[in-house]
Structure formats: structure tokens, C-alpha cells
């Protein structure tokens, strides 16, 4: 069946002498060996082969021995039986030409397709006007990469010799395809390593365990909780105001755990583009959407064996909260555009400056996810509630900053430290660190008095107490203004009669401000009663 040449032997006179064969193989090798793109390699191969013999269809299948499936290497050229085809993998059919080639590792030559209508896809080929086909295995290092197929409207001449020539061609193509796949995989691994390096650099730059100082009982209790839970896989929920050091504590948990030799992957939820949120977290398959030219490893997969830190978890869209819950329950996820589950082993630490109970009541955060995350709960009090830490933080951080800038340390008087302890620190530890930098830059080697502190605090406009109070007043005024508009429009945002038009704001901006100012329906509906 496979090598039925009798009807064609009369047309099998020599066409390619040895020198011509070598020249053709050299030209094919030169055309495809440097190609790193599938379509380019396929088109270059087709162009070279057409110089030497005609065919009506050419296709290359890639074979996956693990899943027993095949996929098109590139868009098949020429006649398309059954319409256009994609690169999506498909099971290797039991009665198919591809299976015969893969299993036998020998060429399969059929000079009259009508006699083999029981084979998969042959009916569609005949219907498309094809009468003969030649299929060859692609072998590299005793491994089957796939098969290359040539089909014809009429059986080719010199078929015996053509079989020998195309057997040699298939070996060269197999090497080129294997090299291209190795290059593609190496490029993917390099991109993955670059991302890992970025996370490692970020961690090393932002976290130094020696920079962590505390004297208060509240922080001592927190450190005790961290030490007790660090070496477990329990999920941790860290709450507290902005600037209290939640991400620092998350890194501390990771570095004290058995996962410390693996990646700590920080993910700032609000910073991710909403359109690519899912792809960034879970990765995507090649071709999953426009622009997905290659498989992408998501942050969860990067954190395999280590820890993923989801900062500002309250900003995670409700649709992705369900997927996160699935990961916590089943320890697996699916990439965008791929239905195959990916097993994952990573610890999840989440943080937020929001009241999640309030978010649950507002319907913006899932209650079941909250319970899954809140196995170990750590609340970091604001700096104004742990004033015992302030003198130690000021002196130690000043020493560190002065060394890094190669400057003399400023010294703080007792009155200066008392004034700093009395300051409310709306920006918490982050604000304190910025103030220390200003002290080292502007007052290196000086003795800092309470009056000096007062001047520096007043000059720190973005986070000074006066400005903080003014901003709070402005926010309150803006909130009341929006509530009045919503009450007037009975909660309607868009349209000619909506609150957005009344306030001369884009609807999306108004929606953002409503979320930011925590405006709930009851805030404006009660004024209608």
C-alpha cells in the first residue's frame, strides 16, 4: 500500500544525478538553516523545492509524543482540504497518513488516494482534487519531530528517485526545524530568566533585613507572628495604611521560610493594565489574543516553589478573584488561551490598605476569598500608634543613609526626637525615610534641634501635616459634591441626565472617583428619602 509504484515505474527514469542532488540539498540547507521564524522557514523551503519539482500542497506536522498529538508547523501551502487550518494541536488519528509515517519512521507514498478513502482526511483531499501524496518522517537524533507531506493533483514523474531525494530533504528540514525550535525555546528561557532577574534585583534593592528596626511592643508581637508562621505554607493577609512597610514584612516572611531559595514575586495589583491583568498573572498561550506571538509565563508560574506577594489585593477585579480562589483551592491554574491545567506550588501573601470587610459589604471583594487569604492575619499599626519606634528608626536609618551617601551623620537633640515623636506621620515609615534623606542631604554633620525639625516638616509640603489636612478637606468637599450630583440624578452616571454630564467629567473618571472616595449607594440614596 505505502509504496505502490508499479503504475509509475515507466516514468521513473533518472532526473537528478548525484551532483544535482548535492547542489539542491546545499541550496535548501542555506535557505532554511538560519531561519528562526516558522513562516519564513516554511516559505523559504517551499520556494527552493518548487525550483526542482512541482507540487500542489505542502504541509509540515509537528509531533508531540507525550500527548500523542500533532500540529501544523506553519500554514500549509497550496490546496486546503476542508478549508483553512490553524496551528492548534489535534489528536493523532488512528487511521491517518501522519500516524503511519510517525510510527513506521518510513516514507508513505500513495499514488491513488481514491483507493484509501478509509484513511483520515483522505476524503477531503480527494474532494479538493488531490490524487497522490508523499509523506516523510522528520528524524533528528533518533527522535521523530513530525512529518512533511507533499500532495499532487496528478501523480509526479520520477517518483522512485523523487522519494530518495525527498527523504534526504526531510532530514535537512528536520535539522532546521529542530534548530529553530531550540532557538525559540532558548529565547523564551532567556526572557523568563530576564524577568526572574528583574524580580531578584527588585527584591535585593528594596529589602535588607538589617534595615528593619523596631522597639515597640506592637512590632515585637508582629515579628513573633511572622517567626511562628514563616516556615509554613499558610496564606498571609497583611493589612495597614500605606507606607507602613507591608511589602517589607512580606519579604521578611519569605526570607525566613523554606522557600527563600526561590523567587519572591511582587505584584502590585493596581499597576497592572486591566486588559492584560489575567495574562500578567497567569500567562498566556501563543496566539491566545492579538499580539500574543509567543507563550508567556505568568507571575504565578514564576513564583513556583517560592512566594507571590499580591499587594493591594482589594484592587483585584472580581472576575480574577474567582480564579485566585481556584488556585488557592486546587493549586493549579490555566493560562489564557489554554485549557490545560498548570500545577503550581507557591505561597500566597496578600496585602491591602483597605477595610476588606467593608469591601465585602460593598460587593467588591469575595467573602470566600477573604477567608482563604486570612489564615494568618497581620495588622501593621501606623507609625503614630507606635511612637516608641520613631527614635530608633530615625537614628538607625540616618546612619545607613549617611553611609550610602558618604556624608557625615546629622545628630538629633532630645527635643528634636520628641518633636518627631509628636508628628502624626500621615505617610508612615515611607515618609520618615524621605525625611531622613532630606536631613542627610541638607544638614550633614549638623546637630538638629526641634526648631530645625519644625522647618523641615513645614517644607515637606507633599506630606506635611498642614497640606495633609488641606487635602483631607478637599477630598471631603469633592465627596460631598459627587454625592449631591448622584442624588440629583438618582444614581444615574451616564447619558444626558447623568451625574457625569452634570459634573462635566468623563464617565470613567467619575467611576474612578466614586471608588476612590468610597461612595456607596446609601450615601446618596438616603438624601432622596
pLDDT tens profile 285-333: 665 555 555 667 788 888 889 999 999 999 888 888 988 898 899 888 8
pLDDT of residue 342: 83
Residue 1 falls within a domain, yes or no?
no
169 and 26 within one domain: yes
**Helix, strand, coil percent values for the chain (each to nearest 5):** 50, 15, 35
Q: Is 136 strand, coil or helix?
A: strand
Same domain? 340 vs 483:
no
Do 237 and 364 lie in a common domain? yes
Please report the pLDDT score of residue 12 as a whole number.
Answer: 41
- Domain assignment present for residue 456? The answer is yes
Q: Does 20 map to a domain?
A: yes
pLDDT at residue 23, rounded to an integer: 86
Q: Which of 327, 355, 381 is the last residue of a domain?
A: 381
Q: Is residue 248 part of a domain?
A: yes
* Per-residue pLDDT tens over the stretch 450-474: 888 888 887 764 444 444 554 555 5
Q: What is the pLDDT of residue 480?
A: 82
Residues 82 and 165 in one domain: yes
Cα separation, 146 vs 351, in Å, equals: 48
Mean pLDDT score across all residues of the chain: 82
Q: What is the DSSP letter of 156?
A: P
Domain assignment present for 422: yes
pTM over 0.75: no
Kindly report the CATH number assigned to the domain that includes residue 373. 3.40.50.300
Q: Which among 347, 246, 338 has a CA at the least distance from the CA of 300? A: 347
User: Same structural domain for residues 93 and 28?
Assistant: yes
471 and 400 share a domain?
A: no
Give the domain extent around 254.
Answer: 207-381
194: in domain: no
Assigned domain for 189 exists = no
List, for the chain, all residue ranges whose pLDDT scores fall below the cut of 50: 1-14, 204-207, 461-467, 470
Where do we find the cell 500533532? Answer: 70
| Residue 338: other Cβ atoms inside 10 A | 16
Give me the pLDDT at residue 8, please: 38
| 22 shares a domain with 170 | yes
What is the bridge-based pairing of β-strands 332-334 and 341-343? antiparallel
Segment (H or E) for 446: none
Reduced to 3 states (helix: H, G, I; strand: E, B; else coil), residue 141 is coil
21 shares its domain with 139: yes
Domain count, the chain: 4
Asked if residue 278 and residue 249 are part of one domain, the reply reads yes
Element at 474 (helix H, strand E): helix 465-488
SS (H, E, C) 340-393: CEEECCCEEEEEECCCHHHHHHHCCCCHHHHHHHCCEEEEECCHHHCCCHHHHH
Return d(Cα 162, Cα 21) in angstroms, integer. 10
Residues 140 and 11 in one domain: yes
Q: Does residue 448 belong to any structural domain of this protein? A: yes
Instruction: Give the end of a domain, one of 358, 381, 404.
Output: 381
**Are 219 and 169 members of one domain?**
no
360 and 500 belong to one structural domain:
no
pLDDT tens, residue by residue, 352-405:
999 999 999 999 999 999 999 999 999 999 999 999 999 999 999 999 999 989
Residue 206: predicted pLDDT: 47
Task: Kindly report the CATH number assigned to the domain that includes residue 413.
Answer: 1.10.8.60
CA distance 182 to 189: 10
**Among 410, 432, 463, which residue terminates a domain?**
463
Amino acid at each position: 500500500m505505502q509504496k505502490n509504484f508499479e503504475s509509475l515505474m515507466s516514468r521513473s527514469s533518472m532526473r537528478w544525478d548525484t551532483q544535482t542532488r548535492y547542489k539542491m540539498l546545499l541550496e535548501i540547507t542555506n535557505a532554511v538553516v538560519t531561519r528562526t521564524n516558522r513562516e519564513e522557514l516554511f516559505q523559504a523551503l517551499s520556494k527552493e523545492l518548487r525550483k526542482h519539482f512541482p507540487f500542489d500542497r505542502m504541509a509540515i506536522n509537528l509531533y508531540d509524543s507525550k500527548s500523542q498529538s500533532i500540529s501544523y508547523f506553519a500554514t500549509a501551502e497550496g490546496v486546503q482540504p476542508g478549508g483553512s487550518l490553524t496551528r492548534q494541536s489535534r489528536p493523532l488519528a488512528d487511521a491517518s497518513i501522519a500516524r503511519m509515517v510517525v510510527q513506521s519512521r518510513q516514507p508513505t507514498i500513495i499514488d491513488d488516494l481514491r483507493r484509501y478513502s478509509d484513511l483520515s482526511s483522505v476524503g477531503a483531499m480527494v474532494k479538493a482534487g488531490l490524487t497522490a501524496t508523499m509523506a516523510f518522517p522528520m528524524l533528528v537524533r533518533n527522535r521523530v519531530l513530525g512529518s512533511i507531506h507533499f500532495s499532487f493533483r496528478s501523480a509526479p514523474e520520477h517518483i522512485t528517485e523523487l522519494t530518495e531525494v525527498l527523504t534526504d530533504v526531510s532530514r535537512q528540514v528536520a535539522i532546521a526545524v529542530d534548530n529553530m525550535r531550540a532557538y525559540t525555546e532558548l529565547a523564551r528561557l532567556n526572557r523568563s530568566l530576564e524577568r526572574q532577574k528583574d524580580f531578584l534585583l527588585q527584591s535585593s534593592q528594596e529589602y535588607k533585613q538589617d534595615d528593619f528596626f523596631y522597639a515597640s511592643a506592637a512590632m515585637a508581637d508582629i515579628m513573633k507572628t511572622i517567626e511562628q508562621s514563616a516556615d509554613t505554607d499558610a496564606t498571609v493577609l497583611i493589612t495597614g495604611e500605606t507606607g507602613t512597610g507591608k511589602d517589607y514584612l512580606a519579604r521578611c516572611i519569605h526570607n525566613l521560610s523554606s522557600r527563600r531559595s526561590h523567587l519572591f514575586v511582587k505584584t502590585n495589583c493596581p499597576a497592572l493594565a486591566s486588559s492584560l491583568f489575567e495574562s500578567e498573572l497567569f500567562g498566556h498561550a501563543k496566539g491566545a489574543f492579538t499580539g500574543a506571538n509567543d507563550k508567556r509565563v505568568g507571575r504565578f508560574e514564576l513564583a513556583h516553589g517560592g512566594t507571590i506577594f499580591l499587594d493591594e489585593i482589594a484592587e483585584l477585579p472580581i472576575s480574577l478573584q474567582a480564579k485566585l480562589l481556584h488556585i488557592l483551592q486546587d493549586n493549579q491554574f490555566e493560562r489564557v488561551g489554554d485549557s490545560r491545567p498548570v500545577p503550581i506550588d507557591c505561597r500566597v501573601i496578600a496585602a491591602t490598605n483597605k477595610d476588606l470587610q467593608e469591601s465585602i459589604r460593598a460587593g467588591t471583594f469575595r467573602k470566600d476569598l477573604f477567608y482563604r487569604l486570612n489564615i494568618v492575619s497581620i495588622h501593621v499599626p501606623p507609625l503614630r500608634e507606635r511612637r516608641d519606634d520613631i527614635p530608633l528608626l530615625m537614628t538607625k536609618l540616618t546612619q545607613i543613609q549617611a553611609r550610602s551617601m558618604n556624608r557625615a551623620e546629622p545628630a538629633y537633640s532630645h527635643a528634636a526626637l520628641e518633636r518627631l515623636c509628636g508628628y502624626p506621620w500621615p505617610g508612615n515609615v515611607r515618609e520618615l525615610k524621605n525625611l531622613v534623606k532630606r536631613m542627610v542631604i541638607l544638614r550633614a554633620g549638623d546637630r538638629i534641634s526641634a526648631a530645625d525639625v519644625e522647618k523641615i516638616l513645614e517644607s515637606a509640603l507633599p506630606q506635611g501635616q498642614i497640606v495633609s489636612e488641606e487635602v483631607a478637606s478637599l477630598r471631603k468637599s469633592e465627596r460631598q459634591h459627587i454625592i449631591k450630583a448622584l442624588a440629583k440624578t438618582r444614581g444615574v452616571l451616564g447619558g444626558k441626565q447623568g451625574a457625569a454630564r452634570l459634573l462635566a467629567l468623563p464617565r470613567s473618571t467619575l467611576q474612578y472617583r466614586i471608588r476612590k472616595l468610597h461612595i456607596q449607594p446609601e450615601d446618596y440614596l438616603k438624601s432622596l428619602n
